[in-house]
Every structure is written in C-alpha cells, then in structure tokens.
C-alpha cells in the first residue's frame, strides 16, 4: 500500500516536472522572439557552446570514426565486402552516431554548465536581483542559452561528421590503401539528402532540448549549493534521456517522409 502510494507520488512528481518544463518552453517561445534581443549575450553563449566545445567534440568524433571503421572492418572482410566500409561507416555516422554522440557530449558539457551556472545564480539570488533591477532574467539568461545551443549543435554535428569521416579514412588506410578521393567518392555515392537533412534538423532539436532542460534545471534550482549540484546532474541526465527520446521520434518522422 505504502509502495503504491510512493509510486503514485513519483508519477505525480514526474507529471509535474513535465508540465513545468512544458510551461518553461512556452515561456521561451513567448519571450524569445520579442524585442529587445540580447545579441551580445547570444553571441557570447554561441562562443561558449560552439567554439569552446569544438575540441572535445572533434576529438570524440575522430575517435568515433576511427574505432567504428576498425571494428566494422573484420565483419565486412569476412563477407568480402571491404569496399563497402566507407559507405557503411558514412551512413552510420551521418544518420545516427554523429548527431547522437555529439548531443550526448553537449548534454554532458553544456547542459551541466548551464544547469550549474543558472543554479548558482538562483541560489545566490542573482536572478532575483536581476528581476529587481528591471532586467528580464529569463530573456537574458534562458533565451540566449537555448538559442545558442539550438544554433550551435547543428554546426557541431557537421564538424563532428566531417572529422569522424576523416578518422574513418585514416582507419581504412591503416589496413588497406584507399585514396582520399576514392574514399569520399564512395561516401557521397552512398549518402542522400535524406541522410543529411534529417540528421541536421534533429540535431537542432537536440540542441534546443539540451538548452531548455539545462536552463530549467538551473533556473528552478533550490536548497542552496546542494541544489546546484543536483541541477547540474539532473540537467545532464534528463537532457541525455530526452536526446534519445527525440531521436526515436526523429527516426519515425524521417521514415514517414523519406521511407528509409
């Protein structure tokens, strides 16, 4: 009985959380596209999210391409289909692995940063102070960060895909000898618009959800410094989960339009 009551409370809390995040998102749309725009803050956040995450995303993507190619090679060699390696790796990277891994890295790096930053601002009452001083903290803190993550994640995914393909090319050349031109010819021979466009579109939504979850968790942080850590942690966990859920929805929608 007690256990059932506890489960009911958990479900209730979850539904409250979902409703709160929904309202938070609606507020973003209400306030995000009305003047005045915080251009400087948007650019600053773009730099923080995009440029400063590039090295981490780049290294991860390079290793990802390299490892995926090396791991896939023996199976393809067994079937005598080694020449399909560029095609197979490129489709895997562009369609799925590139956007999802980049989004997860960003959920970890950017989501936690935003959650911790806004959380500490909340617990140190800086957000309250902004409200008192007449600045709209939501517009200044949340809108700018969500826009920055939404705009920068697709770019990071493009970089990640490019670097991962280069890593794959190097991996192919460890065992065999394939020219740069032949490798990329085979890659683009296989790829279609239906591979690239949905991948970029879904990475835009991944960025959006990472920004929204990070900001929500930080903006609604409670219980002092403990709450800051909790916000950062929740931001990463929920954003990562949401990335997978969005990916599932994106695959269904892509299949609907492009018949994968």
Partner 1 sequence: MNENRNNLKLGIFITLGTICFVAALYLLGAKQNLFGGTFEIKAIFNNVNGLQKGNNVRYSGINVGTVKEIVILNDTAIEVNMMVQIDVHEFIKVDAIASLGNDGLMGNKLVNISPGGSRSRTIEVGETLLSINELDADEMLRRLEETNKNISLITSSLVGIVDKIDKGEGPIGTLLNDNNMALDLAKTMTNIRELSFQTASLSQNLSKSFNNFQSSENTIGMLMNDTVLAAEIRTVVDELKNFGTNSEKISSDLNTIVSGIKKGEGTVGTLLSDSIANDDIIKSIDNLQKGSEAFNENMQALKQNFLFRRYFKKLEKKK
Q: Which stretch binds partner 1 (CB under 8 A): 64-72, 183-191, 208-216, 231-239?
A: 183-191
Output the smallest distance, CB 179 to partner 1, in A: 16
- Alpha-carbon distance of 21 to 158, in angstroms, equals 29
Nearer residue to partner 1 within complex by CB, 46 or 142: 46
Binding segment for partner 1 (CB under 8 A), chosen from 55-63, 136-144, 188-196, 216-224, is: 188-196
Q: How far is the CB of 40 from partner 1 (least distance, A)?
A: 8
Q: Answer whether 217's CB lies under 8 Å from 231's CB.
A: yes
Q: Which ranges of the chain would DSSP assign to H, the alpha helix?
A: 2-32, 39-46, 52-78, 85-92, 98-106, 112-123, 126-132, 137, 144-175, 180-190, 193-219, 224-258
Is residue 109 involved in binding partner 1 (CB under 8 A)?
no
Q: Is 191 in the site for partner 1 (CB under 8 A)?
A: yes
Q: In the complex with partner 1, which residue's Cβ is closer, 44 or 230?
A: 44
Give the nearest distance from C-beta 197 to partner 1 in angstroms.
Answer: 9
**Binding to partner 1, residues 120-159 (CB under 8 A):** 154-156, 158-159
DSSP 21-69: HHHHHHHHHHHHTSSSP-HHHHHHHHIIIIIHHHHHHHHHHHHHHHHHH
* Stretch touching partner 1 by CB under 8 A, among 65-73, 135-143, 185-193, 201-209: 185-193
Nearer to partner 1, 131 or 189 (CB): 189
Contact 48, 148 (CB under 8 A): yes
- Closer residue to partner 1 in complex, CB, 88/235: 88
Sequence-ordered strand ranges (E) for 72-212: none
Q: What is the largest CA-CA distance in the chain?
A: 70
Based on CB atoms, which residue is closest to partner 1, 113 or 122?
A: 113
- In a 10 Å sphere around its CB, with 0-12 CB exposed, 13-18 middle and 19+ buried, how is residue 233 labelled? middle
Q: Is residue 43 involved in binding partner 1 (CB under 8 A)?
A: yes
The span from the CA of 139 to the CA of 41, in Å, is 10
Give the binding site for partner 1 (CB under 8 A).
40, 43-44, 46-47, 50-51, 54, 154-156, 158-159, 161-162, 184, 188-189, 191-193, 196, 200
């Amino acid at each position: 009985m007690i256990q059932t009551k506890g489960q009911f409370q958990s479900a209730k809390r979850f539904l409250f959380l979902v409703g709160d995040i929904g309202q938070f998102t609606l507020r973003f749309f209400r306030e995000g596209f009305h003047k005045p725009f915080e251009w400087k803050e948007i650019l600053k956040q773009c730099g923080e999210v995009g440029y400063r995450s590039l090295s981490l995303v780049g290294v991860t993507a390079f290793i990802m391409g390299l490892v995926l190619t090396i791991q896939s090679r023996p199976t393809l060699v067994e079937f005598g289909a080694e020449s399909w390696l560029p095609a197979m790796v490129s489709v895997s990277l562009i369609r799925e692995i590139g956007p999802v891994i980049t989004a997860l890295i960003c959920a970890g790096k950017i989501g936690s940063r935003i959650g911790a930053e806004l959380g500490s601002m909340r617990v140190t009452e800086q957000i309250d102070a902004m409200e008192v001083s007449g600045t709209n903290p939501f517009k200044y803190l949340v809108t700018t960060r969500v826009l920055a993550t939404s705009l920068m994640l697709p770019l990071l995914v493009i970089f990640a895909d490019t670097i991962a393909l280069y890593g794959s090319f190097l991996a192919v050349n460890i065992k065999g000898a394939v020219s740069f031109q032949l490798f990329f010819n085979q890659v683009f021979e296989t790829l279609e618009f239906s591979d690239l466009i949905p991948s970029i579109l879904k990475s835009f939504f991944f960025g959006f959800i990472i920004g929204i979850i990070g900001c929500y968790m930080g903006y609604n942080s409670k219980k002092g410094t403990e709450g800051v850590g909790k916000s950062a942690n929740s931001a990463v966990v929920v954003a990562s989960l949401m990335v997978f859920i969005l990916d599932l929805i994106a695959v269904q929608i892509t299949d609907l339009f492009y018949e994968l």
